[in-house]
Structure 1
């Protein structure tokens, strides 16, 4: 999700599409939150690890 967020941010910035910029920020933040929860050992979405 983090990589997808970065890609959306880049595409939105390059082509000047504000909705992609906004979606990229949201996806990036969700990815970072999931990464933090997963690194603390908490089960996220019923799974302990995402491969």
Structure 2
């Protein structure tokens, strides 16, 4: 597993936690929260699967 993949595994849950926290504080709407979570997971999935392992 490359450093970039480890970074994606680390960063994506942090983004999700922040989105949920902002929703609970009333800063984000439900649609914005769902969209942030969905898009962050989709982007992380695409980047994770396209990263080539170190030789």
TM-score by length of 2: 0.45
Larger relative CO (CA 8 A, sep 6+): 1 or 2? 2
Whichever structure has more helix as a proportion of its residues is 2
TM-score by length of 1: 0.47
